[in-house]
């Protein structure tokens, strides 16, 4: 009825209530909107704690996020980066990317820290080294279409974009589920796997 999308309405709420330049408050305000106003399928407080713990343990200097959506996960990742680290985030939907760009900048992250790349992941991944300067990633956060998880993991492998000892953090592998990705990760012999239990979004 308003002529604006849920994602745009969420951003308007952030503009009205969140403290610019405060990533933690941006995420808190996002959570308030999603709990009390409209549901958005983004990472949330419970899965956020898992992400924060992995960032603290690994201190990755080069992070790749697949599926920016509204920028919630991007802000979550960016606020936990060590100094001089860089985050590359890929979003296939230009409308979502336009919202995410504003959310990321509202949180106070510059293009030097967070680079948002718009385009289908299967087209962007092969160009990451040549076009965007990502030699390899220490941490990959997958939160896009579940059917793309295995394809994109294999693309990262074939283009040698995973640093030695890299961590792959994949959301929602049990529900809605990414069974082929999960089977590959467990049986290919390249990875040690751990499933973290979490609730659905909001």
Residues assigned a catalytic role:
143, 146, 171-172, 201
Rounded-to-integer distance, Cα 180 and Cα 99, Å? 31
Phi, psi of 24 (to 5 degrees): -60, -45
3-state helix, strand and coil shares in percent for the chain, rounded to the nearest 5: 50, 15, 35
Rounded-to-integer distance, Cα 191 and Cα 118, Å? 29
Rounded-to-integer distance, Cα 190 and Cα 121, Å? 22
Nearest to 74 by CA among 88, 53, 94, 58: 88
CB 89 within 8 A of CB 116: yes
């Amino acid at each position: 009825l308003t002529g604006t999308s849920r994602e745009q309405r969420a951003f308007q709420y952030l503009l009205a209530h969140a403290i610019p330049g405060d990533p933690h408050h941006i995420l808190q305000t996002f959570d308030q909107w999603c709990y009390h106003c409209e549901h958005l399928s983004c990472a949330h407080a419970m899965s956020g704690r898992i992400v924060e713990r992995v960032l603290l343990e690994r201190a990755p200097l080069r992070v790749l996020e697949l599926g920016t959506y509204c920028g919630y996960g991007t802000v979550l990742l960016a606020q936990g980066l060590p100094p001089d680290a860089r985050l590359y985030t890929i979003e296939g939907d230009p409308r979502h990317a336009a919202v995410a760009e504003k959310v990321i900048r509202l949180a106070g992250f510059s293009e030097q820290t967070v680079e948002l790349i718009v385009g289908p992941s299967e087209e962007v991944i092969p160009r990451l080294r040549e076009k965007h300067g990502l030699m390899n990633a220490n941490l990959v956060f997958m939160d896009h279409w579940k059917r793309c998880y295995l394809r994109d993991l294999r693309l990262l492998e074939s283009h040698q974009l995973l640093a030695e000892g890299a961590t792959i953090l994949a959301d929602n592998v049990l529900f809605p589920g990414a069974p082929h990705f999960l089977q590959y990760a467990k049986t290919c012999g390249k990875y040690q796997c751990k499933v973290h239990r979490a609730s659905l979004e909001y």
